[in-house]
Amino acid sequence: IVAIILAYLEKTGNRRNFQRVWIGVGAAVALSVLAGIALWVTIGGLPEPAEQIFEAVAMIAAAGVVTWMLFWMRRVAANMRGELEAKVDRSLTEGAAWGLSLLAFTAVIREGIETSLFLMAQASAASSAEAGAVAVLTGALVGLLIAVAIGFGFYRGARVLNLRTFFRWTGVALIFIAAGLLSHAVHELVEIGVITFGTDTAFDISGILPHEGEGFLALIGSLLRALFGYTSTPEWITFLTWLAYIVIVLPLYLRPVKPAEATARPAEQTAARA
């Protein structure tokens, strides 16, 4: 989003307003980091079983946020550039250039808060495995670097990467991550006795790929646990929750986008370009 705003300002000869955009971005990033720290401190200071309940709620919320984000991006991706450019035009023509700061802030803060919640939930799910927690942090840093690279390429006008295909398949990966968060939340509720049905072990493949322990396979299992909520000994309710989410959400996400949905242009965009 920031790359689209900057590229449009460059294109229209308004590079002098870059600073206002970066002020909004910086404020949003700082607030997102503070929100993440506050969430982590809060969850770490709770007694049991309040901590497990908070973790479960956070995981469910994170799964919901990821799911909403996927379908929102699927719906607006085709029109996002035009809508943002229309908002930039409005800020410039109305003499409210500082509105660019607000535009950048609102775009980044939403994603930043969602990311803080998501990473906190992932870290909580992996807190029992040191390697898993490290994997969450490593994955977050790698993802940030990739996002920066894509944003820079987008700003420079690069067309090597098919963004539609890229976001489609990263969306599929996020669906499996969200399913893992949801199933791990159910597991937490089983452990503290909130859920008392379907708690028998569905299967045990710890001899093939354990999710904890020592050795290379255990390391792979712990990484999968951190990223996708994998467990080698799931309860029936946990496994069925994971399966139900995948069976329902994945086909809905992969269904073809309606032409009208992909090509519609908002009235305000048309007016801004008139």
Q: Could you give the C-alpha distances from 56 to 19, 173, 186, in angstroms and in order?
A: 40, 21, 7
The domains of the chain are located at 1-85+97-200+235-254
pLDDT at 260 > cutoff 50: no
- Between residues 87 and 200, the one the model is more confident about: 200
Q: Model-level pTM?
A: 0.69
pLDDT at residue number 189:
92
- Between residues 235 and 140, the one the model is more confident about: 235
pLDDT at 259 > cutoff 70: no
pLDDT at residue number 44:
64
The average pLDDT across 27-39 equals 84
CB atoms inside a 10 Å sphere around CB 191: 14
Average pLDDT for the chain: 77
Residue 125 DSSP SS3: helix
pLDDT at 266 > cutoff 50: no
pLDDT-derived band at 198, boundaries 50, 70, 90: very high
Q: Is 250 exposed, middle or buried (0-12, 13-18, 19+ CB in 10 A)?
A: middle
pLDDT at 66 > cutoff 60: yes
pLDDT at residue number 265:
43
pLDDT at residue number 264:
44
- CA neighbor of 262 nearest in space, from 4, 1, 75: 75
pLDDT at residue number 201:
92
CB atoms inside a 10 Å sphere around CB 264: 13
Q: What is the pLDDT of residues 115-161, one digit of tens each?
A: 777 776 666 665 554 555 566 667 677 777 877 777 777 666 644 55
pLDDT at residue number 152:
74
pLDDT at residue number 33:
83
Residues 6+ apart with CB under 8 A from 38: none
pLDDT-derived band at 97, boundaries 50, 70, 90: low
Mean pLDDT lowest for which of 58-67, 212-221, 233-242, 265-274?
Answer: 265-274
Which value, in Å, is the radius of gyration of the alpha carbons in the chain? 21
pLDDT at 267 > cutoff 50: no
pLDDT at 240 > cutoff 80: yes
Q: Which residue has the tokens 């920031």?
A: 2
Q: For residue 148, give both structure tokens.
A: 């920066």
The average pLDDT across 40-47 equals 71
